A and B are shown apart, each in its own frame.
Chain A
Amino acid sequence: MIKRKMNLSLLSLSLLGIIFFGFLSTAASASTTYQLGLRKSTDEYTVIQYDDDGWKATIKPVSNPKEYFEGDANVTGAKSKQTIKGWVDQTYTTYDALLSLYFAIFEYIAWNTFQGNLTAAGYNETTINANYTNTYNAWYGVSAEWWFTDGEFEEKPNNTLSPIIIMKDPSDFNSILDDCNAIIEDILNDSTIDKNLKFVLSNRTADEFLWQLAFKGLAIAEPHGNYLESIVSELGCENASVSGSTLVFERYGLTNYTVEISYGDKGIMSSFTVKDLSDTVIYQITSSNSEWLFYLILIIVSASSVALVVYVVFRNWKRKR
């Protein structure tokens, strides 16, 4: 009997040990790299301030926030929302990175239009990946996106596959930029390439690349500050800086202005602020979610259930006595 009990205790201890070792090793391996903070949830974005005159006087007379965000982004009080649906590990080849991260949409369209010319000149997927052998590991998330509206949200999202891209190593952005710039340089110097395509394609500076990424679903991993610092320093941005979890762009329109993009605990954009020369906010979007209300309800329900069970047990115990 005693022997059996001892065996049982040993077995329990071994199982506990394995689980504990598993936790420790996970923590140890996880702490060496950046951590993904994404969670499946919905965030609502609200335009809390828009000064149309200030915008036109600072950025461009014929522009408005719709250039950055879809829908009624130029209406104070307009709302949009984003539901993070899930994510997978993804490896980008240089060709993938060129098409999905480096190119703006018009460049992507032109690239596809001149596909025959590019293939004949040796700029197809196989040759590009053979010449530029770097691969980049990322977390690729998808989200459902409801564009800004000043009314009620439609039931169905406007975009069901909006990308969220987080490079596991932020220094990869620099390699992508260098490789893609080199490819574009080659194409621009290649006499067999159609002039119309050359007219569309151009090299990017680090600042332009980062600015473009910010609107292409760039999200960040934890620790946020370090991750952002790493992106900005590795890319060698001149007009971008980091303050906490906020990426600050120094931009120039009619006058100088700054754009501050803050990232929340999930690593996606939590606020977007445009300030003019005198630091006056001319446009601001903030995000919110209802998770706290869920936890509040959960606490109330749990507490009520526990109280009920305690009451029933106590009543039964009292009756038996």
Chain B
Amino acid sequence: MRNENDFFIGLTPIFHTIIFEMKKQRKKLYFFTMVSILVAVLLSYILQLFPDYLLADTQAEFFSSGLSFISFITLFAACLFFSGIICSEFNKRTGFIVFPKINKYKLILGKYLGNLFLVIFIVTVYYIVLGLFGFFYYGGPINIRIFYSYVFAVLYVIALSSFVTLFSSFMKNVNITIIITLIILLMGFNIADQIVTLIYADTFEPLYSLAYLGNLITSVLENPFPDPRYVEYSFGGIGPGGMGGHFSFGTWITPSIFMGTTLLLVYIIGCFLLAALLFKRRQL
């Protein structure tokens, strides 16, 4: 009984930190919630007001096209919400306090969870708006795969947040963390994916890339699931008499569900462990 009480008393600071962090970040929350509602309404309603912009054939295709910006929203939200989690403690020198009133790991965990709840809330709002319009245009029942997509979106958000937290653990400044993580996530992974695909074509799948893993959010909506997952386009023979070089370029569409889930979990665990180690080392 006493152990149980100790356990709950131990959790209280985390809970208080979560509440505090959520209140602290509420302006960001309002901003991103508004943005996600606006983007969802724009993609799923405003565009549909144009009669020659054809509605998708099925509800799943409608969701898929409506989710084309979810990776941007989650990416920006993750960078802005999580970039200051650890480095702000050192930037403001609170991380160097020798006898803190709260365990530093509990503080970081509380801050992380508080921000995570907020970003998941933003993603949830996006899916709810999209789901409502999907219901409006296609009637019920709501396609079950939107829920699978939501699960992958949450998993993707956690992976992104752990990635940004990792950078936050060794960077000195919040703004630099935001810029660096944005560059890596927005451009770095995509450029690397293209180079790897150009060199290795279908022999090497860019499973290291968070951007590529994020494709699962929309591809899980497709029925049947994309197969083959590597598509190659080729053209040639455009010279006289059908002569001329043959050009081809390929692209990896999506990871498999099993591999995608596994690697997202690996990202989450790996980044957190590294972040914890770096955080511990930084305090010494």
Contacts and interface: CB of A to CB of B under 8 A. Distances in A.
Interface in A286-319: 289-291, 293-294, 297-298
B51 interface: yes
Contacts of B60: 155
A294 B57 contact: no
A83 B136 contact: no
A281 to B, nearest CB: 26
Main secondary structure of the interface of B (DSSP, over half): loop
A38 B140 CA distance: 20
A86 to B, nearest CB: 4
Contacts of A298: 132
Interface size class of B (residues with CB under 8 A): 20 to 34
A44 to B, nearest CB: 6
Interface string A259-295: 0000000000000000000000000000001110110
A135 interface: no
A41 interface: yes
B52 interface: yes
Nearest to A160: B57
Interface string B32-72: 00000000000000001011111111101000000000000
B242 interface: no
B239 interface: no
A88 B52 contact: yes
B51 A87 contact: yes
Nearest to B145: A155
A291 B136 contact: yes
Nearest to A36: B51
B223 A155 contact: yes
B121 interface: no
A83 B223 CA distance: 19
Given A40-B48, A41-B136, A88-B51, 11 more contacts: A40-B137, A83-B137, A85-B54, A85-B55, A86-B50, A86-B51, A88-B52, A289-B139, A291-B136, A294-B132, A294-B136
Interface of B: 48, 50-58, 60, 132, 135-140, 143, 223
